[in-house]
Structure 1
């Protein structure tokens, strides 16, 4: 029995955290200054990317069907609000050894193809995702100007059918942050592929 419990714990550690930051939590200091290489070849940190209105961190990747379904909307929001005082970054935390389609070469191609006008960076240890408690791609974390989490969850309520979206969670949260107003919905269930965590060291 002890062996089975240990095996379950080891699998859980490999998969990543079973919790996530909650609204009101701060940007995790443990990873705020971690340098992550982007598709432009430059290294950036989350602290550097914080904008005067806040910071949007979206855990993403290249191969996930959920990312592909939401990608146009995700990129449109990122491009729009990066011009409105919100720092925006897409973070790929997947293990590229196990999933070669998520390597930097494919990241560069994806950012170019879909017109990313914000950083798309590699979380080379998966530690940034672990610090956030992120488990899905895509999974959004929006912080306000004070570095407090005000929205966590999905892009909207319909990945597959954009024309049938009724709840634009992330768009509403971004608009509220820029306007200095309370976010209407602070948390939703993140839907997507599981993050393919690198082995914790």
Structure 2
């Protein structure tokens, strides 16, 4: 009887450890070299958009952003420039808004549409209403960037982190991390700096 009880306890412990590992992996999100899972999110123009719509591209620049965050606002023009520069070369920008809009009304879908129109965004601005995409990526801030390279029908993570090294002053930027990563990929070379620290506002998660 004791032997069966001990085996039962061991099984419970093993199950709990497996569950905790699974949760830890989900919280960590993607790592360099991982293939992302497909997703579909609503764009400000009403269309549903996801990686599957970009199979003709060489890759993607996925940026988690928001309306209310001063850091995201400071980067809007630079994100526009990234899309202008690289979409024609096969690396278009996709922006995703992951915040709980009840934390900041400015992050509501209606306000997203207004912001995209006012700033004339040249790239999709998608709502991650369930926050499942942000959790899958392991995004923690806005802005938080993931550069993906297409390999067959999959998109592989090649860079994670900040857009550049100066959120406050675009004229004072010394390192343009996203540009460096995409330029390397366009030349068929490995990305040298694969991860940097994302600087921005913490994502406002919904109460589970």
- Shorter-chain TM-score range: 0.7 to 0.9
Counterpart pick for 2:35 among 26, 36, 57: 26
Match of 1:70 in 2: 75
Match of 1:192 in 2: 200
With the length of structure 1 as denominator, give the TM-score of the two structures: 0.83
SS at match of 2:88: coil
Larger Cα-atom Rg = 2
Q: CA deviation at 1:91?
A: 0.3
Q: CA deviation at 1:80?
A: 2.3
Matched residue count: 181
Counterpart pick for 2:110 among 102, 105, 114: 105
Q: Summarize deviations over 1:119-149 as a string: whole Å, max 9, x none.
A: 1100110000000111100000011122211
Q: CA deviation at 1:18?
A: 4.8
Distance 1:50 1:85 in 2: 10
Residue 36, structure 1, aligned to residue 45, structure 2: no
152-161 or 68-77, which moves further after superposition? 68-77
Q: CA deviation at 1:85?
A: 1.1
Q: CA deviation at 1:81?
A: 1.5
Residue 157, structure 1, aligned to residue 180, structure 2: no
Q: Which runs of 5+ in 1 are unaligned?
A: 1-12
Q: Give me the CA root mean square deviation.
A: 1.7
Q: Summarize deviations over 1:135-190 as a string: whole Å, max 9, x none.
A: 10000001112221111000000010111111110111122222322222111011
Distance 2:35 2:55 in 1: 12
Counterpart pick for 1:145 among 138, 141, 150: 150
Give 4+ residue runs of structure 1 displaced > 3 Å after superposition: none
Q: Which runs of 5+ in 2 are unaligned?
A: 1-22
